[in-house]
């Protein structure tokens, strides 16, 4: 026998209202909490994605750019040891090891491989046709046969290009403007380089004599290269854009000062070590964008659908301390063009 009086019936309605209100509140709270979870965490809870990194130089030489890369991933919600881990492989200036190191990353079944420039992307591409590959600072992937086109890469490789071949001509022009009566330029280059055609044509157009100096990026090789530059009576030097040269930038800058040779370099890192001038792409920006591509791929995007991006931010930096060290006076019109002047 159930008899509900008026007052008791009202209490029941209030209880139901409170229950419904409470349910809505819990649902809203859950929705808010889910919204605050990063996409990386929401995608596959508990999974730790593995990112391989392949480079022809060494860990010390790449430390700064790798910090930029990891910091950007952290901003995107990827926390090392929690939902992402890194596998680094460095060839230590021995390009013959690149295929072996690339194969090692493939055996580990990493989720994506990040590569630098030179022959590194090709080594990774030969090692796998399925694992996504992101170039952080490639040169010309179309000419190298790595992608079908910049807009539609196809396959498993995409990323960023630093436009090194195009910029090497610009560096030679800047060097001529900065060094009065420049007539002979020494080019430090590896035994094989894809940048020679452009710079030879530029040197001829600028009426400069180009002395090409085969250079090994170790202590003995660099010393021999600078001795050769002095013997050839060059007025200034420049380097081909390679990761091994970047890794050895501190020693290269020291030797340029020792032999009192004006120099222009392809990256800011050389000037940070005391070099005279640099003109090139902003590599920090390239590595941040590479991190964005890794983020997209780990969340399900396909490399074939991500266009290869060309560098859009460039910097011209002059170090007046280095100029003073070798007795060089930089013309005012060249100083005015610099994005940054170190005094």
Crossing angle for the helix pair 219-231 and 249-258, nearest 10 degrees? 30
User: Which among 267, 193, 276, 190 is positioned nearest to 237, based on CA atoms?
Assistant: 276
Cβ(56)–Cβ(116) below 8 Å: yes
Mean pLDDT value of segment 60-71: 95
- Please give the helix or strand (H or E) that residue 341 lies within, else none: strand 340-342
Across 5-14, 36-45, 328-337, least confident range: 5-14
Could you read off the pLDDT of 225-237 as tens digits, one per residue? 999 999 999 999 9
13 pLDDT more than 50: no
Rg of the chain over Cα atoms, rounded to whole angstroms, equals 27
Mean pLDDT of the chain: 87
CA distances from 246 to 1, 64, 249, 257 (A): 90, 11, 5, 17
Q: Would you place residue 45 in the very low, low, confident or very high pLDDT band (cuts 50, 70, 90)?
A: low
Cβ(279)–Cβ(314) below 8 Å: yes
Backbone angles phi, psi at 318, to 5 degrees: -125, 135
Provide the pLDDT for residue 139: 83
Provide the pLDDT for residue 3: 32
Contacting residues for 133 by C-beta, under 8 A, at least 6 apart: 112, 113, 114, 115, 121, 124, 125, 156, 157, 158, 159, 303
12 pLDDT more than 50: no
Per the document, the length of the chain is: 343
Could you read off the pLDDT of 110-161 as tens digits, one per residue? 999 999 998 999 999 999 999 999 999 988 899 889 999 999 999 999 999 9
The token pair that represents 246 in the structure block:
């970047």
Please state, for a pLDDT cut of 90, what percent of the chain lies above it. 75
26 pLDDT more than 90: no
28 pLDDT more than 80: no
Task: Say whether 137 sits in a helix, a strand or coil.
Answer: strand
Q: Would you place residue 180 in the very low, low, confident or very high pLDDT band (cuts 50, 70, 90)?
A: confident
Provide the pLDDT for residue 144: 87
Across 19-28, 132-141, 282-291, least confident range: 19-28
Task: Say whether 56 sits in a helix, a strand or coil.
Answer: coil
Provide the pLDDT for residue 244: 87
Mean pLDDT value of segment 198-202: 87
278 strand-pairing partners? 265, 317
All domains of the chain, ordered by start, with CATH?
A: 43-162+283-310 (3.40.50.2300), 164-281+314-342 (3.40.50.2300)
Half-sphere exposure of 231 (CA within 13 A, CB side): 8
Q: Would you place residue 73 in the very low, low, confident or very high pLDDT band (cuts 50, 70, 90)?
A: very high
Backbone angles phi, psi at 53, to 5 degrees: -130, 125
Distance CA 174, CA 93 (A): 29
Cβ(165)–Cβ(198) below 8 Å: yes
191 pLDDT more than 80: no
Distance CA 54, CA 146 (A): 16
- Please give the helix or strand (H or E) that residue 36 lies within, else none: helix 6-36
CA distances from 279 to 51, 118, 172, 343 (A): 30, 19, 10, 17
Q: Would you place residue 242 in the very low, low, confident or very high pLDDT band (cuts 50, 70, 90)?
A: confident
1 pLDDT more than 80: no
Distance CA 236, CA 222 (A): 15
Q: Would you place residue 192 in the very low, low, confident or very high pLDDT band (cuts 50, 70, 90)?
A: low
33 pLDDT more than 70: no
297 pLDDT more than 50: yes
């Amino acid at each position: 026998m159930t008899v509900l009086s008026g007052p008791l019936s009202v209490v029941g309605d209030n209880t139901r209202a409170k229950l419904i209100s409470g349910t809505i509140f819990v649902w809203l709270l859950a929705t808010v909490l889910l919204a605050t979870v990063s996409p990386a965490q929401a995608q596959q809870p508990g999974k730790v994605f593995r990112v391989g990194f392949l480079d022809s130089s060494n860990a010390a030489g790449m430390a700064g750019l790798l910090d930029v890369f990891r910091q950007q991933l952290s901003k995107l919600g990827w926390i090392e040891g929690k939902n992402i881990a890194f596998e680094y492989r460095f060839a230590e200036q021995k390009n013959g090891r690149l295929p072996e190191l690339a194969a090692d990353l493939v055996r580990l079944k990493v989720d994506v491989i990040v590569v630098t420039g030179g022959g590194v992307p090709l080594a990774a591409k030969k090692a796998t046709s399925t694992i996504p590959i992101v170039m952080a600072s490639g040169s010309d992937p179309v000419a190298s046969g790595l992608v079908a086109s910049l807009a539609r890469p196809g396959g498993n490789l995409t990323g960023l290009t630093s436009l090194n071949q195009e910029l090497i001509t610009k560096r030679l022009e800047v060097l001529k403007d900065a060094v009065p009566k420049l007539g002979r330029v020494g080019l430090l280059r590896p035994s094989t380089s894809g940048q020679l055609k452009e710079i030879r044509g530029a040197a001829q157009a600028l009426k400069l004599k180009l002395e090409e100096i085969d250079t090994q990026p170790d202590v003995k090789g660099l010393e021999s290269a600078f001795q050769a530059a002095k013997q050839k009576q060059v007025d200034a030097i420049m380097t081909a854009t390679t990761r091994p040269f970047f890794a050895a930038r501190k020693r290269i800058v020291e030797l340029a000062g020792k032999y009192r040779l004006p120099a222009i370099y392809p990256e800011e890192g050389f000037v940070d070590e005391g070099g005279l001038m640099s003109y090139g792409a902003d590599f920090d920006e390239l590595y941040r964008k590479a991190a964005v591509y890794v983020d997209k791929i780990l969340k399900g995007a396909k490399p074939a659908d991500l266009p290869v991006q060309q560098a859009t931010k460039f910097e011209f930096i002059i170090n007046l301390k280095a100029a003073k060290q070798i007795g060089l006076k930089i013309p005012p019109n060249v100083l005015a063009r610099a994005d940054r002047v170190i005094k």
